[in-house]
Amino acid sequence: MAKTNAPVTGIVTGLVLIALGMLAQKIMPLVGRAAFQAAAAGSYSPANYQMNLTGYYIVAVLVIGVGAVFLARDLFCKKC
């Protein structure tokens, strides 16, 4: 059976998902502040713009884990 880059793709995809989640967590309070200043209404609190991405990170870690399992299988399984 021919080897593919699918395991590495899964690991890279998971890492990209984590990076995007971290970026979103950093940027959303800044976007919220800009929106607050544009609307000039109410009071601004960074806590109002923080996102709970626990499920998102769980999916990203699962994608990395599946990629790691397939990578290990490709590296160590001689008959596969």
3-state SS of the chain is CCCCCHHHHHHHHHHHHHHHHHHHHHHHHHHHHHHHHHHCCCCCCHHHHCCCCHHHHHHHHHHHHHHHHHHHHHHHCCCC
Enter the pTM of the model.
0.76
Cα–Cα dist 70/41, whole Å: 52
Query: pLDDT grade, residue 32 (50/70/90)?
Result: confident
pLDDT tens column, 43-68 = 778 888 888 999 999 999 999 999 99
Biggest CA–CA distance in the chain, Å, is 66
The pLDDT, as a whole number, for residue 3 is 63
- For the cut 80, the answer to whether the pLDDT of residue 41 exceeds it is no
- Alpha carbon 55 to its chain centroid, in Å, reads 10
